[in-house]
Amino acid sequence: MKKVLTVLLAAVMSVSLFAGCSNSGEGGQGSASTPGSDSPVANQEQGKQLKIGIVQYMDHPSLNTIRESLVAELATLGYKDKENVAIDYKNSQGDQVNLNSICQKFVSDKKDLIIAIATPAAQAAASATSDIPVLFSAVTDPVAAKLVADLNKPGRNVSGTSDAIPVDKIFDLALKLTPNVKKIGLLYSTSEANSLSVISDAKKVAKEKNLEVVETGITNVGELQQAAQSLISKTDAIFTPIDNQVASAMSTLSKVGIDAKKPVYVGADSMVSDGGFATVGINYTELGKKTAEMAKEIFEGKTVADMPVQTLSDFGTVINETTASKIGVTVPEDILSGAQIVK
C-alpha cells in the first residue's frame, strides 16, 4: 500500500511541476502560444519599450522632412524615443542590397513596427515580413507598387500614407505660367514604380491638353545631366514626378533648365526649393504627422489590414522666385498671391 501511495504522490508532483513550467514566463511554451503575445499592445501592457525600425531609401529634403515630422509627432502623441519607444533609424543611401539587409535585420530584431519611407523601402520591408506591421510613407501609388490590394482595405500587414500628386493641376499651372509650352519632356527613373505610374498619368493629361510629349527614362543618377540636356533641347519644358533618383540630383536638373531658360516643373515642394520652377503638391510635414497618427492606432490595437491608405487632399502651389527670374518668367499676380514663394 505504501508503495502505491508513493507512486501516486510522485505522479502528482510530476504533473504539478510540468504545469508550472508550461505557465512560466518568457521562453515557456505557454507564453509562446499566447495569442498576440508579441503584438505592440501586449508589449506595452507588459511595460516593454516598443521597438520601431525606420528605414529611409535615400537622403533628399522631402524624405528627410517626413522622417523628422514623423518622429516629432510620435513624441507629441506620447511615444518618445529613448523613453517608452526605441527608434532605430537606418538609411540605405539608395542601395537596394543595403535596403534588403536593413529590413531583414529589423525582422530578426523583432521590431514592433517598421516604418518605410519611399516606395523601394516599403517594397523591401513588405517582402521581409508578413507578421510585423509595416507602415509606408511617400508611396505615390501603393497598388501599382503591389503593397496593397485596395487603398481602402489593404488586406495584409502593410498600409500607410501616399504622396499622390495632382498631375492635372501641375499641367494647368504650367500652361498658366508658361502658355507658350507646346511640347513637354517627361524625365523619370525607370526603376521606380511611383514614377512610372505618374508618368502614365502625365501622358494622359498631356494628350487631353493637346501637348506633345517626349519622354526620357534614366537608370541611375549618373545619366541625369546628359538625359536632361538632350530632353530640354527637344522640348519647351520638362516635368518630373516625385522621383527619388531625380530629386537627389535636383540641383543638376534645375541648372540644365536655367541654362536653357526653360521651366522645369516638378512633383514636390522640396524639388522647387532645390531649383525647380514650380509645382502643385502636398505638405510633407503633414504627411509625416499623418504617418505618426497611423502608428499610434497600431500601438493601440488597430489591425493594419483594416487601415485604409491615407492620402492628403490639401494641395498648394509652390514657385521658385529666383528660378522664375533666371528663366525670364513673370508670375501673374493672381497666382503669386496664393502661392508659397521660395528663393
Identity of the residue numbered 230: S
Stretch (H or E) spanning 248: helix 244-248
Half-sphere exposure of 58 (CA within 13 A, CB side): 15
The series of mean pLDDT values per 10 residues for the chain, 343 residues long, is 42 40 33 44 66 96 95 98 97 96 98 97 97 97 94 96 95 97 97 92 97 97 97 98 93 98 95 96 94 97 96 94 97 94 93
Round to whole Å and give the CA distance between 342 and 277. 10
pLDDT of residue 333: 94
Q: How far, in Å, are 92, 144, 212, 291, 331 from residue 126 at the CA level?
A: 16, 14, 38, 16, 44
pLDDT at position 264 is 98
Q: How far apart are CA 141 and CA 193, in angstroms?
A: 8
Distance CA 277, CA 262 (A): 9
Three-state DSSP class for residue 305: helix
pLDDT of residue 8: 39
Cα distances (Å, whole numbers) of residue 110 to 90, 294, 330:
16, 20, 55
Which grid coordinates belong to 204?
Answer: 494622359
The secondary structure of residue 235, as a DSSP letter, is S
> Residue 1's pLDDT is what?
44
Exposure on the CB side of residue 190, measured as CA atoms within 13 A? 9
Q: Which residues, listed in sequence order, are joined to residue 281 by a DSSP beta bridge? A: 316
Cβ atoms of residues 299 and 39 within 8 Å: no
Q: What's the pTM?
A: 0.82
- Output the pLDDT for position 43: 58
